Chains A and B, each alone.
Chain A
Amino acid sequence: MGGLPAGRVEPSEHDYAEWEQRVDALMVLLSGVKGGTPRMTVDELRKNIEALGPEAYDKLGYYERWVTSITQTMIQRGIITTDELGRKMEEIRARREDACRK
């Protein structure tokens, strides 16, 4: 990306949402920085973000790219499966729908 034409640097900052902080924390834990078995490397994180393609920079936020990459890496590593992920996401979605209705 270095050297490509781009616009003004907007000095923006934002407070990170809890879910974003948890994504960051998951990466710290999974890379083994805090001791514990490393389950993935930052290199896989970066590779899988790159694999999202350039449109991902426009369509997805920073931690949206991270959570997608980490999840993809966990599938590649065989720690979770696509099927498990699909079922779990449905379960959580339904659980959240119920909670929203109350």
Chain B
Amino acid sequence: MPEVAAPGAGQYPTRFPSLPVRFAAGDRVRVREAAPLGHIRTPFYIRGHVGVIERYCGAYPNPEELAQMRDGLPAQPLYRVRFLQSAVWPDYAGRPEDTIDIEIFQHWLERE
């Protein structure tokens, strides 16, 4: 049986039984490189890149599973992760401090 995290953490409280929250704001994380079949909400362009947790957003049913008519539970913690644009795009033409913030589910993140 998966562990159930305490509800109510994060910016929007979680109503669902959810997996434990592994990361906190400020943690450095790497986005996994996988490219499986099915519906995925982790954009291709960010896979493999390293960013910083900007905030925890709450836990939500896994959209990969919802897309396949399953309930997506236990809910996956969701984070906003901030990346430096200059690190993501080799030819980025802007300020070195420019960022891109993306919501990424926990199962796509590894501690860096």
Interface residues of A (CB under 8 A from B): 2-3, 41, 43-44, 46-47, 50, 76-77
SS of A interface (majority) = helix
Tally of contact residues, B, Cβ under 8 A: 15
What 0/1 readout, one digit per residue, does chain B (55-92) give for beta carbons within 8 Å of chain A? 00000000110111100100000000000000011000
A72 to B33, CA, bound (A): 30
- Are the CB atoms of A2 and B66 closer together than 8 Å? no
Interface residues of B (CB under 8 A from A): 38-39, 43-46, 63-64, 66-69, 72, 88-89
A2 to B89, CA, bound (A): 11
The interface residues of chain A lying within 8 Å CB-to-CB of B38 are 47
- Are the CB atoms of B67 and A43 closer together than 8 Å? yes
- Among A2, A47, A77, which residue has its beta carbon within 8 angstroms of that of B67? A47
- Are the CB atoms of A43 and B63 closer together than 8 Å? yes
The interface residues of chain B lying within 8 Å CB-to-CB of A50 are 39
- Among B43, B45, B66, B88, which residue has its beta carbon within 8 angstroms of that of A41? B66
